[in-house]
């Protein structure tokens, strides 16, 4: 029964805005996310796929994901705690209505709006030298994997034939560092960093560069968010995509609440397991307790009060003004009579 807009607003805003059925609720919720938590020095930008197979104007098919079909949401979260700092639903088109070309730079800059002095780890879809220079203007750095089809990559870092395993090749510009690491024979990964300025390599047997180690440490923020919010979820089966997004809002909000509570109370349930489950159980009880107490008192109007007494066993069942039976519905060839139940207003 829950809805997030009126019929008149939906008819007026359906064509230009695909997110119109839940736009007001989504924006009011998203604008409060950065107001409650100060992110650490490392943040992660990724894409969360909310599983959904029903009718949706911007549902996407991603075969590499476990669920394959769903609603893609661009997510900015803290690398260490996976606290969600910003979210944007991907409707696959720009504000003008046309498909974007090379929109990765604009998408990431919009997602990180308001941040300063952080290091960003993102997907290879966004990474480019142009993005790195734009982030430097905003006092931010990046450490990301680069797709090998980028035209700005030099040929020397792309050659893998005959290279030694665990070897690294570096390339430098005044503001960026490019490293090609060979983890296996005839295979390499290329990373771009505007944070590192040298050829530092680890002491382990794999001899990973510092760029690769920093990338591996901070790249899993969005993935960990999906795992953390999926263990205890309020999602239910539905054919309405606005309700799917609303369920995800509740799951993300509960995860953020757990992160904030643990930061404010680091000694709470120290050494015990299932801390998140205990917190969500207590949170749910505190949310429903005022409603339970409100419904514990008899209503003031006559009809709801009579119904409440009848349910409690202390009165007679109220009758409808049109008779004891006011509707019928058929189940197969049989017709079943349904008794009238008044609502809280006595109608």
- Is the model's pLDDT at 95 over the cut of 90? no
* Angstrom distance (rounded) from CA 39 to CA 115: 9
Question: pLDDT > 90: what percent of the chain?
Answer: 36
Residue predicted with more confidence, 294 or 238? 238
pLDDT of residue 204: 85
Residue predicted with more confidence, 321 or 237? 237
pLDDT of residue 323: 46
Q: Give me the phi and psi of 49, to 5 degrees please.
A: -105, 110
* Angstrom distance (rounded) from CA 257 to CA 86: 15
Indicate the average pLDDT of the chain: 83
- Is the model's pLDDT at 72 over the cut of 90? yes
Cα radius of gyration rounded to whole Å, the chain: 27
pLDDT band at 14 (very low <50, low <70, confident <90, very high): low
pLDDT band at 55 (very low <50, low <70, confident <90, very high): very high
pLDDT band at 244 (very low <50, low <70, confident <90, very high): very high
What average pLDDT score do residues 332-336 get? 48
- Domain boundaries in the chain? 7-262, 265-295, 302-339
Considering the four listed CATH numbers 3.90.350, 3.30.720, 3.30.300, 3.40.50, the one that applies to the domain covering 7-262 is 3.90.350
Place of tokens 């290329």: 190
The structure's pTM equals 0.79
pLDDT band at 260 (very low <50, low <70, confident <90, very high): very high
């Amino acid at each position: 029964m829950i809805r997030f807009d009126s019929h008149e607003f939906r008819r007026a805003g359906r064509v230009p805005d695909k997110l119109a059925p839940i736009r007001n609720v989504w924006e009011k919720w998203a604008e409060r996310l950065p107001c409650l938590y100060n992110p650490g020095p490392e943040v992660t930008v990724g894409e969360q796929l909310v599983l959904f197979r029903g009718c949706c104007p911007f549902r996407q098919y991603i075969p590499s994901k476990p669920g394959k079909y769903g609603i893609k949401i661009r997510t900015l979260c803290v690398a260490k705690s996976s606290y969600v700092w910003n979210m944007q639903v991907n409707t696959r088109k720009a504000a003008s209505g046309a498909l974007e070309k090379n929109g990765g730079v604009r998408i990431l800059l919009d997602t990180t709006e308001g941040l300063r002095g952080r290091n960003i780890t993102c997907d290879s879809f966004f990474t480019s030298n142009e993005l790195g220079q734009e982030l430097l203007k905003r006092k931010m750095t990046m450490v990301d994997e680069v797709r090998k089809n980028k035209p700005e990559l030099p040929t020397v870092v792309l050659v893998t034939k005959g290279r030694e395993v665990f070897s690294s090749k570096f390339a430098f510009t005044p503001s960026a560092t490019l490293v090609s690491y060979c983890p296996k024979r005839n295979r390499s990964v290329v990373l771009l960093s505007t944070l590192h300025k040298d050829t530092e390599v680890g002491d382990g047997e794999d001899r990973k560069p510092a760029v690769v180690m920093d990338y591996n440490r901070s790249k899993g923020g969005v993935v960990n968010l999906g795992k953390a919010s999926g263990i205890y979820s309020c999602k239910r089966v539905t054919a309405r995509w606005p309700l799917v997004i609303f369920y995800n809002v509740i799951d993300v909000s509960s995860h953020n609440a757990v992160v904030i509570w643990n930061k404010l109370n680091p000694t709470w349930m120290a050494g015990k397991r299932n801390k998140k489950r205990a917190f969500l159980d207590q949170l749910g009880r505190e949310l429903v307790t005022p409603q339970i107490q409100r419904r514990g008192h008899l209503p003031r109007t006559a009809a709801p009060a009579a119904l409440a007494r009848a349910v409690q066993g202390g009165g007679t069942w109220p009758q409808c003004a049109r008779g004891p039976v006011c509707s019928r519905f058929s189940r197969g060839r049989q017709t079943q009579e349904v008794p009238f139940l008044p609502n809280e207003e006595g109608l």
